[in-house]
Structure 1
């Protein structure tokens, strides 16, 4: 693995760990911790999506509408996929933890795509 890629992976792992620790300290129970983690995940996604949407829609309203539609379709896909994955692959894990792990995987992939698209904008 290239040093830059390894550094990125380590940085992400540390950031996620710090975020999880903050949520564990802020939450009085597992439901509160999960809510905090979901909120943080949504903020990360929003931080990648909103600037891209503003930039694209500012140049081409139709492209902005298509990006918005793409985001809505992606969200529906993730919900369906994570419902399926949670149902068939719990493997002794708590169902909500399995759902969260699925959401994290899809969201991190989506953030990567959104950032790549942002990099392609002039």
Structure 2
């Protein structure tokens, strides 16, 4: 029960972000002049979603176990490198520059969505026995 307040605060922050991102996706299309602008805007939104989930989870974990927080920090750095290199492969595998930008955007969106889910699970399951 003593961890209830941070969880509620975290839930509210994530719900607000979800609303913001959905509204922002529409803004990306409304204010863009070309597909590159739309991709850049959506990419920034994906990065923001991951960053909010990471920062929220990191703060939650660090307040309970600093050693575990250090492992989470290292894992996040590794995830960033892994996702970038994996998407580099995805682009290279397309064998055409025409599809490269969409391939990278789709790849990073997939990685980002999965990472947000994973970070949220880390936070939700922290301290629980398997």
User: Normalising by structure 2, what TM-score?
Assistant: 0.72
Q: Distance in 2 between matches of 1:61 and 1:39?
A: 29
Q: Which residue of 1 aligns with 2:27?
A: 22
Distance 1:79 1:116, change over 3 A: same
Question: What count of residue pairs does the alignment treat as equivalent?
Answer: 108
Q: Which residue of 2 aligns with 1:68?
A: 73
Q: Distance in 2 between matches of 1:17 and 1:119?
A: 23
1:79 partnered with 2:84: yes
Q: Distance in 1 between matches of 2:26 and 2:108?
A: 18
Kindly report the root-mean-square deviation, in angstroms, between the aligned alpha carbons of the 2 structures: 2.3
Q: Which residue of 1 aligns with 2:114?
A: 109
Which sections of structure 2, spanning at least 5 residues, go unmatched?
Answer: 1-19
Moved over 4 A (4+): 15-19, 90-93
